[in-house]
Structure 1
């Protein structure tokens, strides 16, 4: 690779990094505004949306749309915000990347204020010059009514969905977490 080719690649990655970061902000805004056209425009046609708990599962834009419509119908005002973002580019294909986004949300399912902390594991694809989600997986540290927030990190069943309590998606399921527990007898 020549110096010029390397410079072009590096500039493309800088511009792409910014576009992918903005993708997360656009996702948060579209969710908060219940803006379905804007939300769906962020996904490839064959995108997947998953969660380890299984509470969010969809393949293709039609299923993703149906999943979000079901959620938005029970959820009033919300506010999502993203924190840190790690992006790694595919060295073989400049139109592919993957990353992790740390995020929080304030939501109101069925009129009850709730708080969530989550980590998104994403695969991105550049389609017609625009970066989109090819796969988005949401992992919940907690999703809980505000009334339970003060004690939620002391429980394992930190994912509250309707009348169900489910184990949190992380960190307990992570191999590094389990190895630490095993190694240090905690």
Structure 2
């Protein structure tokens, strides 16, 4: 059983990681890349599930952000749930999942996105930082396409060609659930199952 001191240290670490996640959103929206650099360890990795983003090392990550910001206007990222997991035998690393939404100006139009980050955090002498961050999208669409968007699997419309959403359909838990329930997920409509 953890000691009182260990429990306090864990709570402090969780608080610092939550602050890290919040700072990231503000710095992205404010285009404060000098401050953003300080949120990542030197050998950090930043990727996206669709493979478009794939940077290794802090300099490559910052260069990738410059490329992203070249096509983005003002935006606001709002994070919702933050799940942080510490392993029992490791006090200097943790993993996490973060859900959020973004409002963005892209391709001369207003777009909205629902997203998730899969993170690895590392404790450093300067506090907790991102060691790895992978972004995935439930949807990324022009506002005009938002009504009914969850009825279509091609929900990533940030690019010239619509792409499949990164989740939930691709998740093993989603697939297993529907397989066990004998459900069929249609490609352009909602989930249907046999009558019980």
Q: Normalising to structure 2: TM-score of the pair?
A: 0.89
> Aligned pair 1:91/2:88, yes or no?
yes
> Aligned pair 1:67/2:64, yes or no?
yes
Select the residue among 144, 147, 157 that pairs with 2:144: 147
Please list the CA deviations of residues 58-85 of structure 1 after superposition, one character each: whole Å capped at 9, or x if unmatched: 1111111111101111111100011111
C-alpha distance in structure 1 between counterparts of 2:122 and 2:150, whole Å: 35
Select the residue among 175, 179, 182 that pairs with 1:178: 175
Which residue is 2:22 aligned to? 25
Q: How many residues align?
A: 183
Which residue is 2:189 aligned to? none
- Runs of 4+ aligned structure 1 residues displaced above 6 Å come to none
C-alpha distance in structure 2 between counterparts of 1:42 and 1:173, whole Å: 29
C-alpha distance in structure 1 between counterparts of 2:160 and 2:130, whole Å: 31
Which residue is 1:79 aligned to? 76
Residue 161 of structure 1, CA deviation? 2.5
C-alpha distance in structure 1 between counterparts of 2:59 and 2:174, whole Å: 36
What is the aligned-residue RMSD (CA, Å)?
1.3
> Aligned pair 1:163/2:160, yes or no?
yes
Structure 2 unmatched ranges of 5 or more: 184-196
C-alpha distance in structure 1 between counterparts of 2:108 and 2:38, whole Å: 28
> Aligned pair 1:135/2:132, yes or no?
yes
The answer (yes or no) to whether the contact 1:171–1:177 under 8 Å persists in 2 is yes
Structure 1 unmatched ranges of 5 or more: none
